[in-house]
Structure 1
């Protein structure tokens, strides 16, 4: 139905057209104008070149599957499938997912409502921002080492550093932040 709506002009979603062009391995210009060397789309008349450049670097769409507490260990609550939101990311992570930040322990860099893009298979390093799970509770922190022992540090100095134990695992490394206005 989406393709039909785009064909008859009822749906002019740039995101959908970009997705279609990617899936069909052609250009947006070809889909919009029927030829490769078409004039630039109308978006160039509205926005400057910086916005157009950003649109060209959207790589993938990922689901925002839940939220993560930035502050303390907290139970994980996932969104229902019919409530899933998808976001476009500029990081090359095909199997990633998004989480909404809750709390203020990662301020000033990460505010409540920001979306973090998590790569579940990325190798964490000292200084990486990570989503950590311990005893079925999760939090979002900066990974720091004291010798060989990992700790999870909030950016807000009002919160304590968290220790790891045998039930602690890193669920993924944060690769991108998306701030919605």
Structure 2
């Protein structure tokens, strides 16, 4: 099973589900989406991966071909145990503007793209590429467009954390800082030209950003 499509088809077969049955379990109106994924004609984003992994009874890591590593949060390949180096998959882009589409098609071969880190995840971890400039600050901590952020889904988000938030019932996500003020929670951009976004049941917090990388040339 060398491709994501082959793995989807394999685990669907193990569950004795037709493409139509899997599509229905994921809440999709047509089996064509499953067929396109299995033929590698389209690449699923994080939201669709979550739905298929739940319906198939396997983790996203297994669908991505990462196996099961309890030591490294369930989805990392250990590169050099003595140095505590782990390879985490790059899943998709995430908007750092207002609510943006974070479930973009992979570039060719991106499902096999990984970045090595010495961070040992507490849960499944994924690298995401930042789009937009709302997390770009003139001073201090800054995440300009093109930065890579490592997200740990096994950490409980707390005020002050940098988080990935996802709109409920939509393929939208956002990268912001979680803050509380007057008993209310907000997503705060580091770029002061962008507004605060109040959390009022409109989103769920996917995970906490634990590391970032950026390329200079």
TM-score, normalised with respect to structure 1: 0.65
SS in 1 for 2:192: coil
Q: Deviations over 1:138-166 (max 9, x none)?
A: 11000000133210000001100011122
2:156 paired residue number: 123
1:1-181 to structure 2, matched below 5 A, reads 19=79, 22=81, 56=83, 59-75=85-101, 76-79=103-106, 82-84=109-111, 85-93=113-121, 95-108=124-137, 109-135=142-168, 136=170, 137-181=172-216
Give RMSD over aligned pairs: 2.0
Q: Is the 8 A contact 1:65 1:78 kept in 2?
A: no
- 1: distance between equivalents of 2:215 and 2:149? 11
Gap runs ≥5 in structure 2: 1-77
Aligned length: 130
Which has the higher Rg, Structure 1 or Structure 2?
Answer: 1
Give structure 1 regions of 4+ aligned residues with deviation exceeding 6 angstroms: none
Gap runs ≥5 in structure 1: 1-17, 28-55
- 1: distance between equivalents of 2:177 and 2:187? 5
